[in-house]
Structure 1
Amino acid sequence: MPTANTIFPIHGPVDLLTRLDSPDPETKLKALREIKNQIIGNRTKKLSFLKLGAVPAVASILSSYATQSDSQLVDADVSTSSIIVQSAAVLGSFACGFDAGVRAVLDAGVFPHLIRLLSNLDEKVVDASARSLRMIYQSRLAPKYEFVQEKNMEFLISLINSECENVTGLGASIITHSCQTSTEQRALCDAGILKKLISLLEGSLSQKNATLESLAAVFKKNPEVISKFVGLENERAVESSLSQRDSSLESPGTVIKNNTESVFKFVGPESGSALSSIIELTKDRYARTRLLACMCLVVIRNASPNYLQDMGIKAKLVYLLLELLDDPGQVGDEASFVFSSLVAGKKDLQQLAFENNAINKFCNQLQKSQLHPKRLQGVLLALADLCSKLESCRLTFLSLKVLNQVIDALTHDCADVRTSACICLRSVTRSIKNLCAGYFMNEMLVIPIIRLLDDPSVSVQVAALGVISNIVVDFTTRKSTFIQCGGVKQLVQLTKSMHSTVRFNALWALKNMMFLADDRCKEGIFLELTGSLLASLISDPEPCVQEQALALVRNLVDGCIKSIEYVFAEDGTLLDAVGRQLHNVSDEVGIQGMYLLGNVASGNELHKEAVLQQLLAQADNGAQSFVIKFLQSSDSRLRTAAVWVIVNLTFPSCPGAFGRLVQLKNAGIISQIRNMVNDSCLDVKLRVRTVITQSMTFGDGLT
């Protein structure tokens, strides 16, 4: 009998793995327990055991015992059942919060055995297996469970209906992980899962939290169902319930995340108690439950803006989430993300948060040393959303002197943090006042941002390009700083990326840099780009890339005659590419192309004649001129751009205007313009009348 002073030996990983191979069940069992105790909450220990092949060894033990029938297990001695329980516990511990462990467990092929053990007759075996599977399903690496299939749905329902807490929690976790489409959401609702999930809100702490998360997944990104199923009566009932509880700020948000059908079922006449239960959970003693309840409210509001419009409710949500930010653990790490979801794209909530000192609160977090990467990421994203629309937020942020901390985050080891830092800077650099002052065009910011253009993460590259797109819209003469730091060379290189998103954003940045640039800047950029590269980008397979390439050239040729000459470089390769591309493009691409041609047509006679030939050119299939198609477009912006080109080609003081007018008339273009005299768009109508007036100068009269 061990005494209080007994010291149990701690064996090393190699010794423990050797003991796992022992034929003695008791030795094997003790080794499993010691491995479990050593790795719980210890990533370093987990990694050590992983490198030695511990997971396959434990998986082999579990598999060998799991192959026995339920009846055999019931009749077996205690050690046999205990070995299965401890094996499952060890595998779950490896998987808990550790993706490398999850990957090792899945690679070991033990997943099907854990699933099968859920139907075992031994409750302890079932509980341990369910707990292990829950750990796996907390990871993005977990396999998607296809519950739309009838047999799988029946199995999922059996999990949710189980009397075992870990089994019901597993069912909820599977839903959270695997419910990704509107079809799956509807299937769950039709199967009656929603009603059972609501009942679990009255369960244990673990069940409450798992249920709140699964409810969010059930309704994610399905807003059209809300307007279809939620009637005025339900809306009034919900608002009445919420107004009576102005201190509780939530709703079945996770459950109804962007899926009106489920929202309807959740907030219907029979669901009042469920809504009240979730409202109560915002006041729960446990911070994580309060956070998830707040998340529910945010989700419901984002999915159906008609709900939760009361200013008191909004204010309480802001207050609760800012309060949860002070939690030193996982809740504090995640609170920023929920806050971001609350205020993203909503000026009223951003203003409300600003008035509640949210900027100061998040900036104070930034000034703390050694923040956990996830918390730092969340804080940066929250600041990004707060500063996305309101200049007052940006100015307050800059006044708090935390810009250096954000710049430091650009070199963080975690790619998600680097991305978030860029997103934050993109919002802050929207400040026109500080852009005009050249505040952001300095080497302290420019150099690390340019370095991120070589980042191995595409997400980081795209986010960095977003910052650059802002700071190069520098209304001063400081664009040379960016060029001298090698920025243009890097941007040009990224226009050749295999990722269309990178090409698109690189062109956007170059387009902004070309905006109101002086001759020297334009020349430097064009020398790096070359006409042939621009021509290939104009013909890119992706319409969004085509649009930005044309917009870039539009800015390039905007201005003096010298600027227009760029499209005639390399034997007019660039202008020909524009003409060819416009024969079959979307409206957005056509708009940029026509404004580009309009800028060229504002030049000298040579320039005007070149544009005219592009307008009159037939498509390869003999179809009508693209300009007539654009003039007939339902998009008034495209009609306006097309008429502008004709205005510039027929300006009466130009020597060749009459000849061009005749050719345009013969091509049916003037006739089409005549039919647009009463266009519904005022801009189009004014430009059409300008063309008519100019043509009348030559006695044409358009008759």
Structure 2
Amino acid sequence: MLFEMQPFTAFMNVESTRSYIDDLYSQDPNKCLASIICIKNSVIGSNRQKASVIAQGIVPRLIYLLKDRNMKVSVRIEAAVTIGSLAKGTEDHIELLINSGCIQIILDVLEENEPKLIDACLCCLRTLSHQSSSCNTKYTVKNLQKLLSFAGPKETLQRQSCVASILSSACKSAVEQNSLCSVGAPTIFATLLAVQNYSVRIPVVTCLASMCWGNQIVASEIVNTSCKDIKIPNYLATLISRDRPIEMQLEAARCLTNLHRAGAIPSYDPIITYRTLPCLVRLCQVEHSEAHRALAADTLAYLTEVDSNLQQVAAISNQLVSALVDLLKCPSIAARQAAFRAFASLGANDEDIRKRIIDTKCLMDRVVEGLGDENKKIRLAAVRCLHSLSRSVQQLRTTFQDHSVWRPLMTLLADAPCTELLTAASSALCNLLLEFSPAKEPMLQQGVVQLLATLTSQADPSLRLNGVWALMNLAFQAEQRVKSQILTALGTDQIFRLLADSDTRVLMKTLGLLRNLVSPRTHTDTMMALHGPQVMQGVVLVLEGPHTPEVKEQALCILGNIADGERARDHIMSNEDVLKKLIDYMTHPAPCLQEPAVFCINNLTRRGEPGAIERQMKLKELGVVNILQQLQSTSNTVLLNR
């Protein structure tokens, strides 16, 4: 049946669209169809028009028309297409559509047997899945099986592409990855890799990359899946060749990177070392587009993040460092973030690589700029880059001091950023406070001790760890005034809380801090005169707690330092309970506890020092001499020498 179409423009206002919207509610399917088509055409490319028609409440009506099985198929198809068009609007538009139940309705419609309607719904679902970062749809096993049924070898290219795109957004957790793997996705996607069409291959590889990210079980399944006797990694290796489209190369390299990081392909495999890595380095070069370079650099950062051999191979690659520096000049956030991430990975382990990066012209200037950037992602990437580069001992003494990197770092920390940024910044601070760093004194003047003391009371264990760790570094061979400042800022109650911390790493660093506070010998007596009872109470708390030998070893080492002080050792000698514990540990089966206990006793009984004879006599009465005689036959040379 023919019906009259009224003219429309691409930017109709609310008044001119009202008549079409009224017809949307007509019982006449032809009027309804004409209305949907006009609305669809009016919103194409215009977020303003999308907002206008959404504000008039058409979404529930479109959903109703889509799910109404008694409605003409053509109306339902146009409803799906229009919803898909609205889903290309703003985040608010997409969120409204999702909250209206669009996705579940589409999944229900896919159970029907109307080919063109299914095509429209798949396209709509693809748009909804990828346009929204807030799309948290949980697909059931039945949903996944149904979607995969549209990706078989006899299905159209459009369907295959849509399904791969939809499912790549359905892999946000290990549960979802495992579910998709369990319904046979790797086998189906392996078949699709052989399809000679990049509109299918690219989303398929993207989906495989999402499936295996951080999931060793799924990654192993993918690596061992074949099509026509060719395993998926070998297919992927052919897709990163220079003659492939850049998007194809990037996605294949990203998938291989994820398979490697998930533990399914070793770093020494030629596919990683000689294919994936060189491909990513090549795509970082200046002749490629900014967007492609950014993605390549970000993937390269992830590939090389934890493997020192890959870091070395990448660092010697042709002009990579200069290409990444050039990327830092780009306007996009993604480009600069990726470059900082790549530098952080490359410099994670090797001193020579760090020096080469730091010596690159303008690099440190860019890092300092990044620390103060208005964008949170840039600040975080710059801080992590600084943390990686600050592992260089020589550069802490020279380049870092020349650029005063501590200044923007302190500013960033003082601004109370989010936990992620605070953790990264405090990690970098730990390195800047090492004993040989010239930045220590100016940072002390800027109130770093109080800032770190505040970190130790944070709820996040990583922040507590970094706070204590930095204070431990600061206390190492520090002046007496600095140590007193640390103890005053922390306070006795906080030290005890840290010694009772549920995170063993925090406890170990707190013991390390106490050990640094009561050494060297020139500081021991002063520190114990001021804080002796609290320190002894803390040590006893650890020795009596249900801790590992490695933890108790640190507590015994603190006692060893205290025993070295001329007056400080009286805190041990006057405490019968501590003396008995020391004697018990002298015969402990764990060498890591025996050795510091004997070391402590040795310091207490050292000849030629005031009160030595009296201490020797008291310890002899407690049976120490007999134990030492028994230890003369030990095979432990360290223990024997002590």
1:61 paired to 2:61: yes
Q: Relative to structure 1, is the Cα distance of residues 77 and 387 closer, same or farther in structure 2, using a 3 angstrom cutoff?
A: closer
Q: Relative to structure 1, is the Cα distance of residues 308 and 516 closer, same or farther in structure 2, using a 3 angstrom cutoff?
A: closer
2:39 pairs with 28, 31, 34, which one? Answer: 31
1:389 paired to 2:349: yes
1:8 paired to 2:3: no
1:81 paired to 2:54: no
CA contact (8 A) 2:308 2:350 kept: yes
C-alpha RMSD over aligned residues: 3.7
Q: Relative to structure 1, is the Cα distance of residues 423 and 513 closer, same or farther in structure 2, using a 3 angstrom cutoff?
A: same
Q: Relative to structure 1, is the Cα distance of residues 613 and 278 closer, same or farther in structure 2, using a 3 angstrom cutoff?
A: farther
Distance 1:68 1:602 in 2: 86
Distance 2:16 2:474 in 1: 64
- TM-score computed with the length of structure 2 as normaliser: 0.84
1:448 paired to 2:408: yes
Distance 1:219 1:77 in 2: 39
Distance 2:374 2:19 in 1: 37
Distance 1:19 1:292 in 2: 43
1:278 maps to: 236
Distance 1:629 1:21 in 2: 88
Q: Relative to structure 1, is the Cα distance of residues 649 and 90 closer, same or farther in structure 2, using a 3 angstrom cutoff?
A: farther
Q: Give, as a single letter, the amino acid of the residue that structure 1 aligns with 2:237.
A: I
Distance 1:404 1:99 in 2: 36
CA contact (8 A) 1:160 1:168 kept: yes
Distance 1:469 1:559 in 2: 21
2:276 maps to: 317
Distance 1:18 1:629 in 2: 90
String of CA shifts for 1:394-449, please: whole Å, max 9, x gaps. Answer: 22222222211111111223322211101101111222112234x42468422211
CA contact (8 A) 2:193 2:204 kept: yes
- Deviation at 1:472? 1.4
Q: Relative to structure 1, is the Cα distance of residues 61 and 663 closer, same or farther in structure 2, using a 3 angstrom cutoff?
A: farther
Distance 2:160 2:583 in 1: 64
1:497 maps to: 458
The gaps in structure 2 that reach 5 residues or longer are 1-6, 26-30
Instruction: Give the count of matched residue pairs.
Output: 619
- Deviation at 1:580? 0.8
Q: Give, as a single letter, the amino acid of the residue that structure 2 aligns with 1:440.
A: F
State how 1:512-661 maps to structure 2 within 5 Å: 512-567=473-528, 569=530, 572-583=533-544, 584-605=546-567, 607-611=568-572, 616-617=577-578, 625=581, 628=584, 632=588, 637=592, 639-656=594-611
Distance 1:615 1:103 in 2: 69
Q: Relative to structure 1, is the Cα distance of residues 118 and 546 closer, same or farther in structure 2, using a 3 angstrom cutoff?
A: same
Distance 1:281 1:296 in 2: 11
1:413 paired to 2:406: no
Find the residue that maps to 2:400 and give its secondary structure.
Answer: coil
Q: Relative to structure 1, is the Cα distance of residues 591 and 111 closer, same or farther in structure 2, using a 3 angstrom cutoff?
A: farther
Distance 1:630 1:112 in 2: 69
Identity of aligned residues (%): 21
1:107 maps to: 99
Distance 1:632 1:222 in 2: 43
CA contact (8 A) 1:535 1:578 kept: no
Q: Relative to structure 1, is the Cα distance of residues 316 and 222 closer, same or farther in structure 2, using a 3 angstrom cutoff?
A: closer
Q: Relative to structure 1, is the Cα distance of residues 641 and 664 closer, same or farther in structure 2, using a 3 angstrom cutoff?
A: same
Q: Relative to structure 1, is the Cα distance of residues 274 and 492 closer, same or farther in structure 2, using a 3 angstrom cutoff?
A: closer
Distance 1:181 1:633 in 2: 45
- Deviation at 1:690? 3.5
CA contact (8 A) 2:524 2:565 kept: no
- Deviation at 1:673? 7.0
State how 1:343-422 maps to structure 2 within 5 Å: 343-356=304-317, 357-368=319-330, 370=331, 372-399=332-359, 400-422=361-383
CA contact (8 A) 2:337 2:381 kept: yes
Q: Relative to structure 1, is the Cα distance of residues 483 and 99 closer, same or farther in structure 2, using a 3 angstrom cutoff?
A: farther
1:158 paired to 2:153: no
2:120 pairs with 122, 128, 134, which one? Answer: 128
CA contact (8 A) 1:88 1:129 kept: no
CA contact (8 A) 2:205 2:251 kept: yes
String of CA shifts for 1:291-321, please: whole Å, max 9, x gaps. Answer: 1212233334444587463679624433321
Q: Relative to structure 1, is the Cα distance of residues 687 and 321 closer, same or farther in structure 2, using a 3 angstrom cutoff?
A: same
Distance 1:564 1:127 in 2: 82
Find the residue that maps to 1:516 and give its secondary structure.
Answer: coil
1:206 maps to: 199
Q: Relative to structure 1, is the Cα distance of residues 157 and 569 closer, same or farther in structure 2, using a 3 angstrom cutoff?
A: farther
1:289 maps to: 248
